[in-house]
Structure 1
Amino acid sequence: MEPENDCDWKPKLGMIFDSEQCAYEFYNTYGGRMGFSIRRDYCKKDKFTNQLIHRLLVCNKEGFRKVDKRDPLSKNSRAETRTGCEARLYIKLHDGTGKYVVTDFKEKHNHDLVSPECAHMLPSQRKISATQAIQLDLEAQSGLRLGQSFELMGREAGGRQCLDNEEQITNMFWADAQMIMDYAQFGDVVTFDTTYKLNKEHRPFASYVGFNYHRETVIFGAALLYDETAESFVWLFENFLEAMSRKAPKTLFIDQDVAMAKAIPIVMPDTSHRLCTWHLMQNALKHVNCLFQDKEVKGVLDKFFFHILISFYDMYGSCSSTIAHSRF
């Protein structure tokens, strides 16, 4: 059950949708979060244009099963699943805008709701992509049962915990042998960043980056994340340490992400985390931008942020931990 004060995902009277399909998807998403399945029920269409005028979306347990008169002597009838539940969402076409408006919403159910861990098994929540359907067909032709195929998908994604309710990949981390060897040598100070690039699905790409003895950039690992929550970062940091023989960096440079900062002490309590130079400069521009109008002040700040760091690096060479722990 979700908090009552969170209304963004909850239907309400007067809510407007561009199409009937949009309303269905919204109500189905709401049903998945609450723990019930939905289905389309009564509808009315214009006789001349065939345009949908009314649509009733109901809980999958709405109504009762009708008596099957064709086989009254059946001994192994299916279990009754409907309970007469009255939970529903009713939408009506608005003539002026051509959009659909919620005119009736009943929230209460007369049956137990499904837990979040099992919600993806509800009939209206079962979805697979075209690629996954092809993969399942090929695996079925090879003799794999459906359960085995889903288990294989989970293993390919790094475990079933890496799949969401629709069996889509959520979080993925990888590091090859060279990255692991580089981290063993140069992993005292690591920069962790999720602002490099977003793909078309708006999933953040994360990278672990450091420097070698020649001041060349080396990559220690990379990840595709479902979101930037503390839970995702805890998962990612745990997998990073697992790949790196449980060796945590002495210092981790990050951006100003609160969830990231929250996850670091949970997984790596002995690691110091600092803001990188770029974000420090952005803070300066944000809060004291007026000072940057003065060229002399700007020169002092530039020297403070960049030249001092370079001087320290030249002085200490490869001793990156000394540089990282220096407070500027």
Structure 2
Amino acid sequence: MELENDCAWKPKQGMTFDSKQCAYDFYNIYGGRMGFNIRRDYSRKNKFTNQLICRLLVCNKEGFRKVDKRDPLAKNPRAETRTGCETRLYIKSDESTGKFVVTDFKEKHNHDLVSPECAHMLPSQRKISTTQAIELELAAQSGLRLGQYFELMSREAGGKQCLGYTKLDQKIYLRTKRQQSLTYGEVGNVLQYFKEKSLQNPSIFYVFQLDNEEQIINML
């Protein structure tokens, strides 16, 4: 897929952004249109102010996976997905303006790109909207089976390809919300207590059991 040199959504060296998030969003839109998944890579902060100095955004196929230390006879080894792709966007903070400036941009990939029809399902493109999140939490609190709820939401959106997220995204979102809720309240205090005790004395251990909805039902 080729881009016109003057297209407004193509990164260019010297381009400025008001924040690191603006730079990420811009590059993510570019990645979606081109058909590749992006991820955050190297970053450096000022050790005195903790302010971001520079950030490197790359194609998800950048680099190569490290040696897998698991059993080489594993039944389901992870597939190799990285190809050493050198596509990147490097931004650096301009102290005089407080903005982030593109100082390096490479656009050539060494792998096939995803078709426009499927690009919306790339991990960096998927997102649960605020409205969807509220409805999802209400469904979980009401005890609805989340698999059936996902199918319902897919039909209402006109198909899974129009929903904007996958069943796995839904599961991860709810798991994260539950983990955050455990930080507070009685259960959170109990988990924190055991965590601190195990750090003080390695011989102390604790386990807890989850149900199908990943709710704690037993602890010892």
Same fold, TM-score > 0.5, yes or no: yes
Provide the secondary structure at the position in 2 that maps to 1:30: helix
Q: Distance in 1 between matches of 2:103 and 2:19?
A: 15
Aligned to 1:210: none
Quote the offset at 1:78 in angstroms.
Answer: 1.1
Identity %: 77
Q: Is the aligned partner of 1:37 residue 2:41?
A: no
- What are structure 2's unaligned runs of at least 5 residues? 167-220
Please say if residues 36 and 114 of structure 1, whose CA atoms lie closer than 8 Å, have aligned partners that are also in contact.
Answer: yes
Alignment of 1:16-165 (within 5 A): 16-139=16-139, 141-145=143-147, 149-157=149-157, 159-160=158-159, 163=162
Q: Secondary structure at the match of 1:77?
A: coil
**Considering only CA atoms, is the larger Rg found in Structure 1 or Structure 2?**
1
Q: Against the structure 1 CA distance between its residues 16 and 143, is the aligned structure 2 distance closer, same or farther, given a 3 Å change threshold?
A: same
The AA in structure 1 aligned to 2:144 is: S
User: RMSD of the alignment, in Å?
Assistant: 2.5
CA contact (8 A) 1:62 1:82 kept: yes
Cα distance in 2 for residues equivalent to 1:6 and 1:163: 30
Equivalence map 1:238-253=2 (5 Å): none
Distance 2:161 2:81 in 1: 31
Change (3 A) 1:162 1:127: closer
- Do 2:31 and 2:37's aligned partners in 1 also have CA atoms closer than 8 Å? yes
Shift of 1:149: 3.9
Distance 1:67 1:130 in 2: 39
Is the Cα contact below 8 Å between 2:12 and 2:102 reproduced in 1? yes
TM-score by length of 1: 0.46
1:76–1:155 CA distance, 2 compared to 1 (3 A): closer
Corresponding pairs, count: 164
Conservation of the 8 A alpha-carbon contact between 1:14 and 1:101: yes
- Measured in 2, the distance between the counterparts of 1:10 and 1:165 equals 23
Structure with more contact order per residue of length (Cα contacts < 8 Å, sep ≥ 6):
2
For the Cα contact (< 8 Å) 2:154–2:163, is it kept in 1?
no
Task: Work out whether residues 119 and 165 of structure 1, in 8 Å CA contact, stay in contact via their aligned partners in 2.
Answer: no
Tell me: CA distance 1:44–1:161, structure 2 relative to 1, closer, same or farther (3 Å). closer
Give the Å deviation of 1:151: 4.2
SS at match of 2:133: helix
User: In structure 2, how many angstroms separate the alpha carbons of the residues matched to 1:156 and 1:97?
Assistant: 46
Cα offset, 1:117, TM superposition = 1.2
Equivalents in 1 of 2:72, 2:154: separation in Å?
44
- Deviation (angstroms), 1:26: 0.4
